[in-house]
Amino acid sequence: MPNKMEGAEKSRLLCTSVRRLMKRRSFAHFISYLLLGGMSFLFLAPFLWSFLTSFKPNPEIYSAPIKVLPRLATLDHYHYVVTGIPDFLTYFKNSVVVSLVSVTLVALFSSLAGYGLGRFEFRGARVVLFFMLLVLALPWGIFLIPIYIMEDVFGLVNTNTGLILPYVALNLPLATIIMRGTFRSIPAALEDAAQIDGCNSFQAWYLVMMPLARGGLAASGIFTFITVWGEFMFARTLMLTTETKTLAVGITELRTEGGSWAYGPLSATILLSIIPTLLLFLFLEKHFTRAILEGSLKG
Amino acid sequence: MNEVHLTHRMTKRNIWSPYLFISPCLLFLSVLILFPLLSSFLLSFTQYNYVYSSGPKWGGIANYLKLLNDQDFVAALRNTAVYGILFFPSLMLLSLGAALLLHQRLKGIGFFRISIFLPVILALSLSGVMFQWIFDPRFGLLNHLLAKLLRTHVALAWLSDERTVLLSLVVVSVWKFTGINMVLFLAGLETIPGALYDAARVDGAGALQRLLFVTLPNLKESFIMAGIWGIIQSIKIFELPFVMTGGGPGNSSLVLYHYMWRTAFRFFDMGYASAIGFVIGGLVLLFSILSFLLVKTERQ
């Protein structure tokens, strides 16, 4: 009998302590949710605000006091952006072309150079690496003035090429350093095996190493894409005609003739412009983290 | 044994292979990075107006001396410093806080992480446009929400008031960049072994003590990485004031980078602008080297 009593006592004690723990836990969780909810709201609010405004008819946008929720939802602004602002589609096309070509060239050149630097010992390798690290720390503005003069001399201002060339050069150092690290982490035995099978270095790179370096390639590719898609200073300086402007610059100039913003079309354009990066983000979130970690090397 | 074998094979490979691999990259870097870097350095010692001068004329360190007496440059330096002093601690505190909150096993944590990270993927210039409108005195969301909260009429002109303009830019920058630093801190938190927390618990450490004596000391590397990044970001601020205020009202939000850009591409004074560029580059390098030394002494 006493034995049974003791068991009951024990389980009662256990129950209360577990309950107390649960209480403290759930209180801590409650506070966490509260803080996280508040933060998320603040970070999402501008997007929500744009989203709601993009569906509001003009009288609701410019009413005093403003109304947060739309009474009558309308797709007019989207329709207007796509059909009524021919520039928007041009900007979009330019952004897509410039980003895709830049990312492709950076991926190709950085994986070649990363392999050369990571897998060979040769004279000058240290100098090249040091130079790349130095470039990472320097602000891009330093290169802008001579590049502008050069492009002006060679007639590259106001051409897509004139934007792609500096983007490739500016993004290469970081991408190459990421790829170098990726190649160095692949066991040498695999490469040796390829060479025994009669591959030359180029074939070893292409057939054996590249498929194993996909993670690094994704990380550097994502980082290059976000950088190029949102780059402002070079695009604003080198592309001065509507035919060659990119979204990051073009949208900031979509004002009415009076110089004020047309908020309805503006919010629609912002939301449309974010779609490519958003898709990339949602499908490759894991690689994003890696891209940020490796990219934070960059100054 | 293996080592010898490997170097042997390395010598057998064509000695030109590595140069072939790095050649496309080197070509780009020398034409579009190294050459501009050197020419910009030389330009900074010349008088060269791109529109009126026939060519650059050697001027020695005149440009650098001119900086010392240039009211606009001093204003830009001061504004950049004030911006950095406000921006940097807010960024670090908020991103660390977010990372600590997100480093828990809670339901729906992914949603919170994504929403704090979302501004990172929006172009910086577009964030500027979006917030310019949120700060709008009449149709902006901020004044509307404040009015609801305080139950009075609020018509603050955030961006055209000298007292609030830098603060407004800081708010947008923090909104935009917290996500990046949060990822850096989260990665640091992942590497702290759970056993350390268990040991601290056994020793009777409470939540606050665990934070102060286990979490924070083990986050040192993340702090340094995030710190370097934040400082460089503060010196490099350009897009937001460019798009949102144009440096105004007056010179109250003119920053270094914007001043360089204006000198080069509004007034075409390429020599003077290059000198400003090298001052900015020097500041960035100085802070990077300082932080790098900090990492080094930390590791030893």
In chain A, where are the structural domains located? 2-42, 79-295
Residue numbers in A near B35 (CB within 8 A): 146
Q: Which helix (H) or strand (E) holds A271?
A: helix A263-283
Nearest residue of chain B to residue A200 (CA atoms) = B13
Residues of chain A with pLDDT under 70: 1-24, 64, 256-261, 295-299
**Burial profile A186-205: b = 16 or more Cβ within 10 angstroms, e = fewer:** beeeebbebbeeebebeebb
Q: What would the two tokens of residue A176 be?
A: 């190459």
Residue numbers in A near B9 (CB within 8 A): 192, 195
- Phi/psi at B58 (5° precision): -60, 130
Distance CA B29, CA B167 (A): 38
**A250 touches B: beta carbon within 8 Å:** no
Distance CA A209, CA A284 (A): 22
Residue numbers in B near A201 (CB within 8 A): 13-14, 17, 21
Residue A69 and residue A63 in contact, taking contact as beta carbons nearer than 8 Å = no
CA B42 to chain CA centroid, nearest Å: 27
User: Which of 8-47 (A) contact B at CB < 8 A?
Assistant: 28-29, 32-33, 35-37, 39-40, 42-47
**A165 touches B: beta carbon within 8 Å:** yes
Crossing angle for the helix pair B270-299 and B220-235, nearest 10 degrees? Answer: 170
**B293 touches A: beta carbon within 8 Å:** no
Residue A39 and residue B98 in contact, taking contact as beta carbons nearer than 8 Å = yes
Say how many CA atoms lie within 13 Å of A142 toward its Cβ. 29
Residue B19 lies in a domain: no
**Do B270 and A145 make contact, defined as CB atoms within 8 angstroms?**
yes
User: Which of 41-80 (A) contact B at CB < 8 A?
Assistant: 42-47, 49-50, 61-62, 64-66, 68
Give residue B170's pLDDT: 96
Nearest chain A Cα distance for residue B184, angstroms: 6
Give residue A5's pLDDT: 54
3-state class (DSSP) for residue A261: strand
Interval A176-185: pLDDT, tens: 999 998 888 8
Q: What would the two tokens of residue B254 be?
A: 């003119």
Nearest residue of chain A to residue B226 (CA atoms) = A296
Give residue A80's pLDDT: 86
CA angle, corner A39, sides to A53 and B104, nearest 5?
135
Stated pTM of the model: 0.87
Of B39, B119, B281, the CB nearest to A43: B119
SS (H, E, C) chain B: CHHHHHHHHHHHCCCCHHHHHHHHHHHHHHHHHHHHHHHHHHHCCEECECCCCCCCEECCCHHHHHHHCCHHHHHHHHHHHHHHHHHHHHHHHHHHHHHHHHCCCCCCHHHHHHHHHHHHHCCHHHHHHHHHHHCCCCCCHHHHHHHHHHCCCCCCCCCCCCCCHHHHHHHHHHHHHHHHHHHHHHHHHHCCCHHHHHHHHHCCCCHHHHHHHHHHHHCHHHHHHHHHHHHHHHHCCCHHHHHHCCCCCCCCCCCHHHHHHHHHHCCCEHHHHHHHHHHHHHHHHHHHHHHHHHHHHHHC
Nearest chain B Cα distance for residue A36, angstroms: 6
**Do A40 and B112 make contact, defined as CB atoms within 8 angstroms?**
yes
Give residue B207's pLDDT: 82
Of A43, A145, A248, the CB nearest to B273: A145
User: Is the pLDDT reported for residue B3 higher than 60?
Assistant: no
Give residue B282's pLDDT: 93
Residue numbers in A near B99 (CB within 8 A): none
Find the largest Cα–Cα distance for chain B. Answer: 81
User: Which of 33-72 (B) contact A at CB < 8 A?
Assistant: 33-37, 39-40, 43, 50
**Burial profile B161-200: b = 16 or more Cβ within 10 angstroms, e = fewer:** eeebbbebbbbbbbbbbbbbbbbbbbbbbeeeeeeeeeeb
Distance CA A131, CA B191 (A): 31
Where residue B249 sits, what CATH number does that domain have?
1.10.3720.10
- Which residues fall within 8 angstroms of residue B54, CB to CB, at 6 or more apart? none
Q: What is the mean pLDDT of residues B152-177?
A: 90
Give residue A147's pLDDT: 96
Distance CA A76, CA A83 (A): 10
Interval B45-85: pLDDT, tens: 999 988 888 888 898 888 999 999 999 999 999 999 999 99
Composition of chain A by helix, strand, coil, percent to 5: 80, 0, 20
Q: What is the DSSP letter of A254?
A: -
Give residue A84's pLDDT: 79
High-pLDDT (> 90) share of chain B, %: 49
| Of B65 and B295, the one with more pLDDT | B65
Domain range for B108 is 52-299
Q: Which fold has domain A79-295?
A: MetI-like fold (1.10.3720)
- Most confident range (mean pLDDT) of A201-210, B215-224, B264-273 is B264-273
Count of domains observed in chain B: 1
Residue B90 lies in a domain: yes
Nearest chain B Cα distance for residue A66, angstroms: 6
Q: What would the two tokens of residue A127 be?
A: 């100098």
Give residue A156's pLDDT: 94
